[in-house]
Amino acid sequence: MSLQRQFVRGLCLSAVAAVLAACAAPSNAPTPSPLPKVKNTVNAAVEWRASAGSKAEFLRFLPASLGDLVVVAGAPDNLTAYKLAGGGVQWRVRLEKPVAGGVGAGNGIVAVGTLKGVVYAFDANGKPLWNSQTTSEIVAPPAVADDVVLVRTGDGKISALAISDGSVKWQYSRQLPSLTLRNYAPFTVANGVVYAGLPAGHLAALSAEDGRVLWDTVVSQPKGATEVERVADIVSAPVLTGGSVCTASYQGRVACFDPRNGSTVWSREASSYSGVAFDGNKVFLTDDQGHVRAYERETGRSVWDQDKLAARIVSAPAVVGGYVAVADFEGYVHLLNEDDGSFVAQLATDGSRIAAAPQTFSDHLILQSQKGDVYSVGIK
């Protein structure tokens, strides 16, 4: 493999960097839509704000919840637990290596990965438990499932580390395409099954116990004459909704599958590096143009398409208080009506991009900006 391809694999595809907003020169990027003028009909307000660390322009830090705590990684090496109610600092630790990818939490344990491939585990009080060296950088948040901590590394491997001591219990790997997007995608774990979005448009279901492949299905087939055109990676978390598991790929499709066997329930042409969310009978998608779309959950029928955020580098959607929330490259949070996609509220943060998907914890919308600020937003 050439040095150029290694560089692309380690960072991002230069030819699609206008979309990913991390590698392209400003002259190559599309002109963002003007900020929509919104008359707030819903009361959205910042409940608390905290600083998790310094600016991290090329990383996405995804917060996690553990009981009544929200745990946040911050550049360069911070890990902080805040009270979900009020934002008070419960504990804070400094890591030995630069942190990346965000936090995984569950079963009384907090796990975080680093750019040097080290996984650190802590208990709910911030006491160090163990650290484990993996095979490559970790830019996706770990996930805690039963008795393992699941980690995705930059070389395409998924490793299950024993929750007790960090030893490797099993490992899953597949050959990577020549070009891949840097994969920030979290895992989704339910009922002992790990759902993982993969390069080349695949969605896999693995046994959390032993790593067996329960099924592996194609969300979208790579197509095109060049390697850049053939990139069809899944780089966002799958979501489980109403008996389906749904996801979206870059330059591919948005689709829902039967979680028992991976058979397709429905699929539609779409391209996304941000991801999907769901509520009730709808699946919501942010596409690579900055449009926010809604589909009927059971059939995939298009319900609405909000295009007034085009080219604003829009985050994955989240659902809070019965509204769809997305954030953009200037740190604005936009609330949309679930029924028709109309704007109902708009809220400013610190002016920097909110790259990671907003998270909903106990009706709190938690956002983390690339300046390192963390916000809890309440909807009334």
- pLDDT band of residue 260 (cuts 50, 70, 90) is very high
Cβ 211 vs Cβ 187: under 8 Å: no
Residue carrying structure tokens 């600020």: 373
Would you say residue 9 has pLDDT above 80? no
pTM: 0.91
SS3 label, residue 198: strand
- pLDDT band of residue 174 (cuts 50, 70, 90) is confident
- pLDDT band of residue 329 (cuts 50, 70, 90) is very high
The proportion of the chain whose per-residue pLDDT surpasses 90, expressed as a percent, equals: 80
Would you say residue 340 has pLDDT above 50? yes
Sequence-ordered alpha helix ranges (H) in the chain: 3-10, 17-20
Would you say residue 16 has pLDDT above 60? no
The more confidently predicted of residues 367 and 242 is: 367
Euclidean distance between CA atoms 85 and 70, whole angstroms: 9
- For residue 319, the cross-strand partners are 324
Cβ 62 vs Cβ 357: under 8 Å: yes
pLDDT in tens, 226-240: 889 889 899 889 999
- pLDDT band of residue 224 (cuts 50, 70, 90) is confident
Average pLDDT, the chain: 91
Would you say residue 254 has pLDDT above 80? yes
Domain ranges of the chain: 1-30, 35-52+272-380
- pLDDT band of residue 183 (cuts 50, 70, 90) is confident
Sequence-distant (6+) residues with CB within 8 A of 173 are 155, 156, 157, 158
Both structure tokens of 336: 């949309």
Both structure tokens of 315: 């985050």
Q: What is the DSSP letter of 33?
A: P
Please check whether the domain covering 35-52+272-380 is classified as CATH 2.60.40.10: no
Euclidean distance between CA atoms 341 and 324, whole angstroms: 8
Both structure tokens of 206: 């693995």
- pLDDT band of residue 26 (cuts 50, 70, 90) is very low
Euclidean distance between CA atoms 326 and 318, whole angstroms: 7
Cα torsion 88, 64, 352, 10 to 10°: value is: 140
- What is the DSSP pairing of strand 239-241 with strand 364-368? unpaired
CA angle at 233 for the pair 355 and 307, rounded to the nearest 5°: 50
Euclidean distance between CA atoms 224 and 232, whole angstroms: 10
Question: Which of 261, 146, 153, 158 has its CA nearest to residue 208?
Answer: 146
The proportion of the chain whose per-residue pLDDT surpasses 70, expressed as a percent, equals: 93
Cβ 54 vs Cβ 80: under 8 Å: no
- pLDDT for 5 equals 37
Euclidean distance between CA atoms 277 and 240, whole angstroms: 9
Burial class (CB in 10 A: 0-12, 13-18, 19+), 370: buried
pLDDT in tens, 42-84: 999 999 999 999 998 778 899 999 999 999 999 999 999 999 9
Beta-carbon-side half-sphere exposure of residue 187 (alpha carbons within 13 Å): 30
Would you say residue 12 has pLDDT above 50? no
- pLDDT for 27 equals 52
Q: What is the DSSP letter of 6?
A: H
- What is the DSSP pairing of strand 109-114 with strand 148-152? unpaired
- pLDDT for 223 equals 85
Euclidean distance between CA atoms 369 and 73, whole angstroms: 12
- pLDDT band of residue 181 (cuts 50, 70, 90) is confident
Buried b (16+ CB within 10 A) or exposed e, 253-292: bbbbbebeebeebbbbebbbbbbbbbbeebbbbbbbbbbb
Question: Which of 212, 62, 241 has its CA nearest to residue 143?
Answer: 62
Cα torsion 326, 188, 119, 356 to 10°: value is: -10
- pLDDT for 25 equals 37
Cβ 254 vs Cβ 294: under 8 Å: no
- pLDDT for 101 equals 85
Mean pLDDT of 120-146: 96
φ, ψ (nearest 5 deg) of residue 377: -110, 130
SS3 label, residue 333: strand
SS3 label, residue 223: coil
